[in-house]
Amino acid sequence: MGAKTSKYDTNPLDPDFVKHAEKDRDDRGNGPVTQPVRGDTREVGSPANEEARANIYSETPTRRYDKASLEASYPSVFVPPTYSAPAPYQPAQFAAPPITQRPGSRSVAGIGLPEKWAMALPYMPYIGVIASLVELFLVPRSEPKVRFHASQGLALHVAILILGTAFAVVGAISGTSAGGSLFKLASFIFLIVSMIRVAKGKPHHISALTDPAQWFNDHIELKKS
């Protein structure tokens, strides 16, 4: 008959645990006994890293941390990273291509003129408009320097024509043409100076004419069928 238990008996051990433990102890007592060591004792072989362990200077030196690095807080993985907003798209500006060398006598594709004259003719007074249109229609886009000066020269002549007309109207109303005459002289001098600068290979970019010059360069070309 087993031992009487109640609902308050919370002992998880086997009731016969003591008996089993004593029986196991008796069984182990009948086993082989430890034999004494005979002869001289010998040193057990040292591991391969015993020399490094014995020499304290062979260990890796202690790493030094600066005070500033210890005070810096470690970034938390729970804080979401911040991303900067992408820069808004800006269209490419119409600018003069870099001039690596002075324009020479190389023939320009489409018109066969020397590069020096092909770049300077659009700024020539009176005939610069025709030269600009011819170059924009015939010169391929593989000649960016020539097309740039052709489109800028055309925009310059159009601006001079519009302003000259405005001065003429003002002169007719006021009864004096002094303003119109001075403007024509200034325009003529500016065109001559532009021709000389471009022929010498100096950069010549008129910022006020960037938009109309870019429009002429983009829309005027020979359409191949």
Whole-number pLDDT of residue 23? 74
Residue 71 counted as domain residue? no
Residue 6 lies in a domain: no
- Which one-letter DSSP state was computed for residue 225? -
Check: CB of residue 94 under 8 Å from CB of residue 210: yes
Asked whether residue 167 is domain-assigned, the answer is yes
Q: What pLDDT shows up at residue 70?
A: 55
Q: Is 30 domain-assigned?
A: no
Answer whether residue 85 shows pLDDT above 90: no
Count of domains observed in the chain: 1
pLDDT in tens, 19-57: 776 777 666 655 555 666 666 666 655 555 555 555 555
- The model's pLDDT over 97-122, given as tens digits with 9 standing for 90+, comes to 665 567 778 899 999 999 999 999 99
CA dihedral 72, 75, 76, 81 (to 10 degrees): 150
Does some domain include residue 147? yes
Structure tokens at 141: 């886009």
Q: In this structure, what token pair is assigned to residue 213?
A: 């010059």
Sign of CA dihedral 122, 187, 190, 125: positive
Within a domain: residue 215? yes
> CA 38 to CA 118: how far, in whole Å?
112
Q: Is residue 80 part of a domain?
A: no
Residues of the domain holding 173: 115-219
Residue 181 has pLDDT above 90, yes or no: yes
Looking at residue 90, what is its pLDDT?
57
Question: Residue 84 has what DSSP assignment?
Answer: P
* Model-wide pTM > 0.85: no
In a domain, 201, yes or no: yes
